[in-house]
Each structure stands twice: as structure tokens, then as C-alpha cells.
Amino acid sequence: MNFKLHIWRQPNAKAKGHFETYSVANISPDCSFLEMLDILNAQLSTNPVSHPVCFDNDCREGICGMCGLYINGRPHGNDDGITTCQLHMRRFRDGDEIWIEPWRAKAFPIIKDLVVDRSAFDTIIQAGGYISATPGAAPDARNTLVDKHSADLAMDAAQCIGCGACVAACKNASAMLFVAAKVSHLALLPQGQPEAKQRVKAMVFAMDSLGFGSCSNTYACEAECPKQIKRDNIARLNRQWEAAKMS
């Protein structure tokens, strides 16, 4: 398969970026999107005047959340429920033109080309996305019973990999779905209860101070989340927040 790629190039956060056009040929339909970019970079590396395209990745299995790219106007491309590293070239047509951009949000400044700084998410987690009580050994943990429904909801929320697609998809660059998932997976479990109020306040304050926008209920975040985190978590976050404010 052959493709024409329009890729955002930007040397650093302060520089002005622009699209550059490249061609790649003889790409296997079974090639992943990131492997296709590897092939392009191998091509660019042989040219003394061109520089490989910087993009973030680690696990290439949909686990680490590092590989977020805007592909033809959608976070992680045109398939639902997958990350960029799980997207394959057979999902495109031979000869397609593909537009590839970084996440665009004030809280995620561009480091270089397609790589953005998502450390704002780390700051939110450091504000309260943990439990500080020791859970003890495995037999102690088994003594704390969790009903199946709550366990399922908590595990669904815990699937969030912090990729930032929710922020990139939102017209306000809101991080509500991310914070909601992180608050929910602890709030639904007994181990998360002692610090629940302090946690939600600290995480929401951190989110607001880092330049993320407000949620205006468009649910673009839910539609584009590769882990299909539900917007119900945002409702739970709002309930937790209201309860914490009144206490």
C-alpha cells in the first residue's frame, strides 16, 4: 500500500509548526500505524538534510497511553476503542492521504513534532490519585469484601491509561473524564473511602490550576476514549465533589 502523509513538524513548544508531506510505499496492510512511521523514519534517516519525525510510544500494546496522535481529525484514528499503536494500515485505502497531528491543548505543550508533554496528568495523580493506607498482605485484602457490581465499575474506570485522548477530543480541552476515572476507581472501593473527600478536592483543584478547560457535556471524551471509559464517571465525580464541598 502507498500513502501520502501530512505530518505536523515543530522543533519545540515556542517555534511555529507546519505540515510537511511525505510519501511511503509498499507498506504491508498488516503493518501497524507506528510501524509505518518507523518505516518513514528509516527513510528520512538516510537523507542527510531531513530529520526523523518524533513521536511518543512505549508498549505498543494499548497499555501505556503514550502513543496519542490525531489522525485524520480523530484522536487515535478512525477506529473505536483502540490506541494509535493498535491501529493497522489495512484500515486505510491504498493511496490515502493521512493527516497526522499532535494532541492540541494548552495543558499539553508540544515538545517536538508529534510529542506533547502530558506531565499535567502526573501532577493531578500526585495531588490525590492514590491511597496512602497500607492494604496489608494478600490475606488481609481478601478480608475486605467488595460487591461484584462495585468491583466491575471500579475496574472499568481503572482501565484509563491516561493517554489524553479525552482532552484532545474536547473542544474545551477538559480533563474531566480522566479525573473522573481516577476518582471513581478509588471511590468505588472500600480502600478508597477514608481519603475520598480530600482526594476529589485535591485532584479537581489540580486539574483547574493546570489549564484544562471546563466540561460542557458534549461527551466527545467518551466517544474517543480508547478504553471506552463511560461518562457516568463524570457524574460520579460531580457527586463526590459536591459531597466533599459540603463536608
Task: Select 59 or 141, whichever has its Cβ closest to ligand FES.
Answer: 59
> Which positions from 31 through 60 interact with ligand FES, judged by CB under 6 A?
57-60
CB of 198 to ligand FES, least distance (A): 31
The minimum distance between CB 120 and ligand FES, in angstroms, equals: 18
Compute the Cα dihedral for 104, 6, 65, 230 and give only its sign: positive
240 binds ligand FES (CB under 6 A): no
Tell me the C-alpha distance between 167 and 235, whole Å. 17
CB of 163 to ligand FES, least distance (A): 7
Residue that the C-alpha cell 478509588 belongs to? 186
* Residue 102, CA distances (Å) to 71, 160, 240 in order: 9, 20, 33
- 166 binds ligand FES per the rule CB under 6 A: no
Of 50 and 159, CB closest to ligand FES: 159
Q: How far is the CB of 55 from ligand FES (least distance, A)?
A: 10
CA–CA distance, 242 with 247 (Å, rounded to integer):
9
Burial of 114 (0-12, 13-18, 19+ CB in 10 A): buried
Cβ proximity to ligand FES: between 178 and 241 the closer is 178
**Smallest separation, CB 86 to ligand FES (Å):** 7
Beta strands in the chain (DSSP E): 3-9, 18-24, 70-71, 74-75, 97-101, 110-112, 115-116
The region of 14-22, 40-48, 82-90, 151-159 touching ligand FES under the rule CB under 6 A is 82-90
Contacts of 37 (CB under 8 A, 6+ apart): 53, 55
Residue among 206 and 229 whose Cβ is closer to ligand FES: 229
Residue 171: CB minimum distance to ligand FES, A: 24
88, 156 in Cβ contact below 8 A? no
Q: Does 88 bind ligand FES (CB under 6 A)?
A: no
Size of the site for ligand FES (CB under 6 A): 13
Rounded to 10 deg, the angle between the 196-209 and 176-187 helix axes is 170
For ligand FES, the binding residue among 33, 53, 55, 65 (CB under 6 A) is 65
Footprint of ligand FES (CB under 6 A): 57-60, 62-67, 83-85
